[in-house]
Chain A
Amino acid sequence: MSAKRATKCRYLAVLLLCIAPLDRAALASGDDAAENSRAGAGGTVIMPMEYQKSLNMDEPMPTGMAKPGMTKGDVKSSAERKKAEMEEMMREEMK
């Protein structure tokens, strides 16, 4: 995903955050309606790029796959590092 597109997405997300309805669309399955309308900070639906705010980054990961000491925030920092690496290399590739 290019940096430009990511920035575009971020702006779009913020824009939609302001105007999006609280209800999930009809596409959501009935028994998940309650779960899917869970509100984030400020009573809005959580958009993808805002996801990290809902996680407690310092908490240990509740999974048997984790190394002792890993926290939930590790995924975000790894993802950011990886994104920077890949964007550079893929830009070269696409020339």
Chain B
Amino acid sequence: MDPGSTLSPPATRATIHPLVVRLCHWVNLFAMLLMILSGWRIYNASPIFPFRFPGDITLGGWLAGALQWHFAAMWLLVVNGMAYVLYGAFSGHFRRSLLPLRWQAVVQEFVNLFHGKVSHALGVYNPLQRLAYLLVILLGVALVLSGLAIWKPVQFQELAALMGGYEGARIVHFVAMAGVVGFIVIHVCMVMLVPRTLPPMITGHLPRGARAPTAKGG
């Protein structure tokens, strides 16, 4: 994608989401759902806050079932996540699409949000999007690391110690999950508000008749 391109006639449909990004996105959605829904069932067995998740929306049927799903899906989540991060770092995708992230631009975009004037040019992430996507990647890393600390507080005791030991890691794990769930809710709402962003995340290119993106925002 040419960052400096001006308006060009859509002779071919420009690719705005690379194949790896799209694949990783949907695999991640699947893996995250399995992890979150089974994780809620596991949480219910010994809640750390004064509430339980409704059993009907959890995965696994009982504690052993939930654990089976959780420890199976974790491989998918981690392998897919690593593939995405490695691709993003080495192909330049992160550099092109998520960076730079300027704080003035983020603040400005927040202001625009309240005036209902956030930019949603296809193929270009506005500053709020960049912030959100970078944050959710960090939250994902926090989930995996705290998960490892909970799973193996003896073998990974140094990692667990960074989070306040076994019990501390449970809290980090829950808070990071809450952050990811919050992201998912906002993310899905945004897609529903601007539904034309969805097809490109499957096909990779702009719909027929759309213009290729112009200058990068932020």
Contact = CB atoms under 8 A, between A and B. Distances in A.
Contacts of B65: 67
Interface residues of B, number: 7
B185 interface: no
B103 interface: no
B56 to A, nearest CB: 13
B29 interface: no
Interface in B25-79: 45-46, 61-65
A67 B46 contact: no
Nearest to A70: B62
A68 interface: yes
Contacts of B62: 66-68
B43 to A, nearest CB: 12
A30 interface: no
A58 B204 CA distance: 59
A73 to B, nearest CB: 18
A25 interface: no
A65 interface: yes
A20 to B, nearest CB: 39
A60 to B, nearest CB: 13
Interface residues of A, number: 5
Interface in A24-66: 64-66
Contacts of B45: 64-65
A16 B63 CA distance: 41
Nearest to A68: B62
A64 B64 contact: no
A66 B61 CA distance: 11
Nearest to A67: B62
Interface string B80-100: 000000000000000000000
B46 A65 contact: no
A68 B60 CA distance: 12
Contacts of A67: 61-62, 64-65
Contacts of B61: 67
A64 B41 CA distance: 11
A67 B62 CA distance: 6
Contacts of B46: 64
Interface string A51-93: 0000000000000111110000000000000000000000000
Contacts of A65: 45, 63-64
Interface in B128-163: none
12 contacts: A64-B45, A64-B46, A64-B63, A65-B45, A65-B63, A65-B64, A66-B62, A67-B61, A67-B62, A67-B64, A67-B65, A68-B62
Interface of A: 64-68
Given A64-B46, A65-B64, A67-B65, 4 more contacts: A66-B62, A67-B61, A67-B62, A68-B62
Q: Report, nearest first, the 9 A-B pairs whose CB atoms are least far apart.
A: A67-B62, A64-B45, A65-B63, A64-B63, A68-B62, A64-B46, A67-B64, A65-B64, A66-B62
